[in-house]
Amino acid sequence: MKKVLVLGSGAREVAIARSVSQSSIKNAIFCISKDINPQINDLCEDYLVCDVNDVASIVSYAKEKEIDLVIVGPENPLASGVVNALEKTGVGCVGPKKEVAMIETSKAFARMIIDLCCPEKNPQRKEFVSIAGVKNFMETLGGEYVVKFDGLMGGKGVRISGEHLKNLNEGLDYANEIIKDGGRFLVEEKLVGEEFSLMSFVDGKTCKHMPIVQDHKRAFEGDVGPNTGGMGTYSYGNHSLPFLKKEDVLEAQKTNELVAKQLLKHTGSPYVGVLYGGFMLTKDGIKVIEYNARFGDPEAMNVLSILKSDFLSVCISMVEGRLDKESVLFDKLATVCKYVVPVGYPNNPAKGFEVFCDQDDPSLFLASVMLKDKKLIACGSRTAAVVGKNKDIWKAEAFAEKGVSNISGKLFHRKDIGTEDLIGFRVKRMKGLLG
Ligand code: AMP
Ligand code: GLY
């Protein structure tokens, strides 16, 4: 009997808990998070309502319940050192130690690691803690730049010239805002191309790669509006994307392998967990946009919905360092995941309103909600995700739309994600860029 503790309570953690519950290895699921997710609760033996960054409470709960394995959903507990503390007490974790998770928690650290193992994957960039030299560097980049807060901002700390930043002054204003709060930031060359996510299971030595997924970070249809945690994702039955060649996929896989190896060399700690490479195919080849030290959200819903192998067995192999012996297979199906989010999300989201849906629907993944007087109440972040899967991506998209239409509340979603129009447009735009 494996006692598995899941940290976090979003849609990604619903996907994780469901996958564990479907394992052929006998298991009991426990969860810690600040709100009770009713879908995770249904799968759980016990649920502790607690801050996922409260390391001492997590460790004592794990001891009390004799937990065998902890799966860390979000990034913040990694940064708080929860894995370091749990491993000291002998509990295996799917998730890297704090010093290794810096690949996500510090954008400057990530760029440095990439410089050491695959420098050609980095854009031009410079780090700053003051305004000195910022304007000059923005001008050197021809006014085409990105300002990135160097820390965790839930995907919302990045602003792009010509989009969020209309002119150099707005770029400098954002830089000054970060400096005022005592923060560090990077100014990077603005890359142009198509983004994609490649996640790999890693046991410190071996990487087993997942299907490639494309996320949609912008809040509104047509890829406009502020950056969000991710509004939806799709993947193809061949586990690649229509604008990628076989060599591109292999190159992204190689990059994750090199980064995992470099992290071990640099920190002395093996990378154990899911390594998420955020890439962009540009006219100058594949570049790294960012690294995450966990499953992507929504990407987890795409890949776990089609994982053929036993997820708990894969997790145990990661922790025990024998992933090379594990076959990690996915169904050859396309997936489309769409998030419904509160009106006003991400800047000024509605909250406290009732959400109506069928909680028992296996294609529904509840996220930022809580139960109050038996009613489902939205808490303000992404509310729920729906996943469609099918051999035919357009059917998967139609299924996801139908699922979304069964959810009601003060919500909106991006109808364009996974549609023939949007994917066709992207493929054409990429062809144009590559010439
Ligand atoms: P990040 O939090 O680093 O993933 O950035 C959020 C989003 O900002 C990415 O998904 C990209 O759409 C965009 N972005 C980040 N860095 C760059 C860059 N150097 N060039 C162009 N877009 C970028
Ligand atoms: N989907 C982007 C992320 O999980 O950071």
**Tens of pLDDT along 343-380?**
999 999 999 999 999 999 999 999 999 999 999 999 99
pLDDT at 152: 73
297 Cβ below 6 A of ligand 2: yes
Whether residue 276 contacts residue 293, with contact meaning beta carbons closer than 8 Å, is answered with: yes
User: Can you tell me the mean pLDDT for 279-284?
Assistant: 97
pLDDT of 181 strictly over 90: no
Name the amino acid, one letter, at 152.
Answer: L
Task: Report the distance separating Cα 199 and Cα 197, nearest Å.
Answer: 6
75 Cβ below 6 A of ligand 1: no
pLDDT at 154: 63
195 Cβ below 6 A of ligand 1: yes
pLDDT at 57: 98
Nearest ligand 1 atom, CA 153: 2
**Tens of pLDDT along 214-266?**
999 999 999 999 889 999 999 999 999 999 999 999 999 999 999 999 999 99
**Tens of pLDDT along 62-92?**
999 999 999 999 999 999 999 999 999 999 9
Residue 75: nearest ligand to its CA? 2
Ligand 1 center from residue 145 Cα (angstroms): 10
pLDDT of 156 strictly over 70: no
pLDDT at 375: 95
Strand partners, 387: 337
Ligand 1 center from residue 181 Cα (angstroms): 22
Task: Please provide the average confidence, as pLDDT, over all residues in the chain.
Answer: 96
Ligand 2 center from residue 104 Cα (angstroms): 11
Residue 161: nearest ligand to its CA? 1
Whether residue 121 contacts residue 287, with contact meaning beta carbons closer than 8 Å, is answered with: yes
Whether residue 218 contacts residue 263, with contact meaning beta carbons closer than 8 Å, is answered with: no
Tell me which residue of 241, 218, 242 sits closest to 231, measured CA to CA. 218
> Based on C-alpha coordinates, what's the Rg of the chain?
21
Full set of structural domains in the chain with CATH: 2-95 (3.40.50.20), 124-189 (3.30.1490.20), 194-434 (3.30.470.20)
**Planar angle of CA 218, 223, 227, nearest 5 degrees:** 15
Q: Provide the pLDDT confidence category of residue 157 given band limits of 50, 70 and 90.
A: confident
